Chain A
Amino acid sequence: MLQEIPSGLCFILSGILFTIGAIGAIIRRNVIVVFMCIELMLNAVNLVFIAAANALSSMDGSVFVFFIMTVAAVEAAVGLAIFVMVFRLQNTVNAYEVHLLKG
C-alpha cells in the first residue's frame, strides 16, 4: 500500500547530498562549479525541511523552502554577475588565481 516514507531515510539522503556538496565546494577550483555545489547544499537543507514538515504534518516547511528558493535565486543572480565581472577583470574564474586581496 501507499505508506509514508520514513523521515530518517530522507535525513540520511539529505546528509549524503550535503556532504557531496561540501566536499565539492572544498576541492573544486572552478568557482562556477563551487557555486553549483553550494546550490546542492541548499537543496539538501530544503529536503530536511520538507521531510520534517511531512512527518510533523505541518505546512511551515514548504513556506520556509519557498523563501530559501527565493534567496537562492537572488544569490544566483548576484553571484553570477560577480563571476562575469571577475572574468572581465582577471580573465579567469579559477578560485586560486583570483587573489587580489592577498596584496
Chain B
Amino acid sequence: MDMVSFKGIIFIIAALIAVAASVLMATRKNPIHSALWMIVTFFAMAVIYLLLNAQFIAVAQVMVYAGAIMMLILFVIMMVQMEKGGKGDPGETGRSAKTKVAGALITVILFGEMLFGALYYQMTGRSGDYPVAMVNSVGNVRTIGSLLYGQYLFPFEIASILLLVGIVGAVVIAKRKE
C-alpha cells in the first residue's frame, strides 16, 4: 500500500496484458489467432478505461470493439480463406525487407520521441468542470448522455448519418454484380 496502490497493481497487470497481447497480435501467422489476441488487448484496455473513471467508454469498448468490430473481422477472415502458408511466403519477404526495417526503425525513433514527451510533459491545461467525485455522484453514463444530447447534439447526429452511409456503402461495395 505504500509504493503502489490497488489501482496501480491492476493498471500494471492490465498494461502488461495489453502490450503482450498486442505484440502477439502483430506477430501471429494465423489471422484468426491475431484477431483473438486483439480481443484480449481490447479487454485489457477496457480495464484501463475503468481505472481512469470512464465507465461508459469501457462498456462501449467491450461492446463495439471486442463485440461488433472483431466479430466482423472474424467473419471476413473466415470468408476470405487464407492460402495455407507456402505460396509466395518465402522470397516475397526479401523484396522489401530493407524497406520494412527502415520503416520499423523510423517508428521506433518516433516512439522514443513519444516517450520523451510523455516523461517531460507538464499538463498545463485548465481543469474542466467535471471532477471525478461530482461525476460519480451523478453517474458517468448520465453525464455523457446529457453532453451527447445537449452540447454535442449536432456531431452526434452527424455520427448517426455517418453510420447510415457506412451501412449503405458496405452493402453497395460487397454486393455481387450480376
Contacts and interface: CB of A to CB of B under 8 A. Distances in A.
Interface of A: 1-5, 7-13, 15-24, 26-30, 32-33, 35-37, 39-40, 43, 46-47, 50-63, 65-67, 69-78, 80-85, 87-88, 92-94, 96-97
Contacts of A15: 111, 114-115, 118
B25 A36 contact: yes
B68 A2 contact: no
Contacts of B176: 88
Interface string B111-147: 1001101110101011111111001000010011001
A70 B162 contact: yes
Contacts of A60: 128
Contact of A27 (B35, B83, B100, B144): B100
Interface of B: 1, 5-8, 11, 15, 18-19, 22-23, 25-27, 31, 34-35, 38, 41-42, 45, 48-49, 51-54, 56-57, 60-61, 64-65, 68-69, 72-73, 76-77, 79-80, 82-83, 88, 92, 95-96, 100, 103-104, 107-108, 110-111, 114-115, 117-119, 121, 123, 125-132, 135, 140, 143-144, 147-148, 152, 155, 159, 162-163, 165-167, 169-171, 173-174, 176
